[in-house]
Structure 1
Amino acid sequence: MSQYRLNLFIQPEHAKRLDELAAKKGVSKSSIVAAALASWLSPDAGDQREAAIAKRLDRLSRQTERMERDQNIQIETLALFVRYFLTVSTPVPEAHQEAARAQGKARFEQFVEQLGRHLLRGRSLVRDVVEERHPDTARMDDAAALAEAQERAS
């Protein structure tokens, strides 16, 4: 196959990067430039880039939808709990208000400490409960998460 000789000017930083890449890959600078030019001139190159971007955007959209769903579940759970708590809690008599505040403060501090320990474990309480109640489903979720992570890596 005959080749066409071409002299061109490029910016010094591009020349440096081209030299480094050629040395690192163990190929000639001409072959790198030829491959880049072929990719640039290929009619499929734009379609391939667009397909890759669309795939990433789809994955990001699914992740965002899952986060929105999870956030809505959390909001509804909290609202339901607050409504339940306010419905079943009896009012504290005026004479016991100070003791109730002190006990509430102590309980809150204990809650924050427990939350800190739980977060350090790196596990989700909801996930722990789901695994206890439905061990087979939890394993399927782990497999789905692993498959999704492998898809992201490719």
Structure 2
Amino acid sequence: MRYLRLCLCSIVILLFIPMNAGATSWVYHFVVWDGQIYKMTEEKVTSIDNEIGAVTKYSDMEQYKGNFSNTYPKGTKYFAIKGIDTEIAIAVQVDKGQYLKAINDGEYTYQRQTNITLNLYKVVGIMALFIVIYILFTSLRKKR
């Protein structure tokens, strides 16, 4: 009986230990606009045309749909560059009156990331918890 309680307590404690979900490792700083990923450069842009969009979601940990960035906060504005097609490059406003060039690096493929190992661990832990509870109640009934 003592061992069952110890097992039950151990499993409960294990279920509450926070698991580290893997963070996304980015190769470079980028913004996403109109389904395309644009690699940030250090090249300053002075010939700005009209505003074309803005960052709608920021994260340095996960991928998201839409005008997403791993560098700039939500609300950071995108601009067309005079004389350059937006399919080649855009300008990102990094400060008031300051813009950096971002070069198109192809289609942005959003993939929702799940940590299968973490989910599997939790399912196995919960199953083990139910098994221990079942054994505990069964042994208690036999004692009566």
Structure whose residues are more often strand by fraction: 2
**TM-score, shorter chain, exceeding 0.5:** no
Q: Which has the larger radius of gyration?
A: 1
TM-score normalised by the chain length of structure 2: 0.28
TM-score normalised by the chain length of structure 1: 0.27
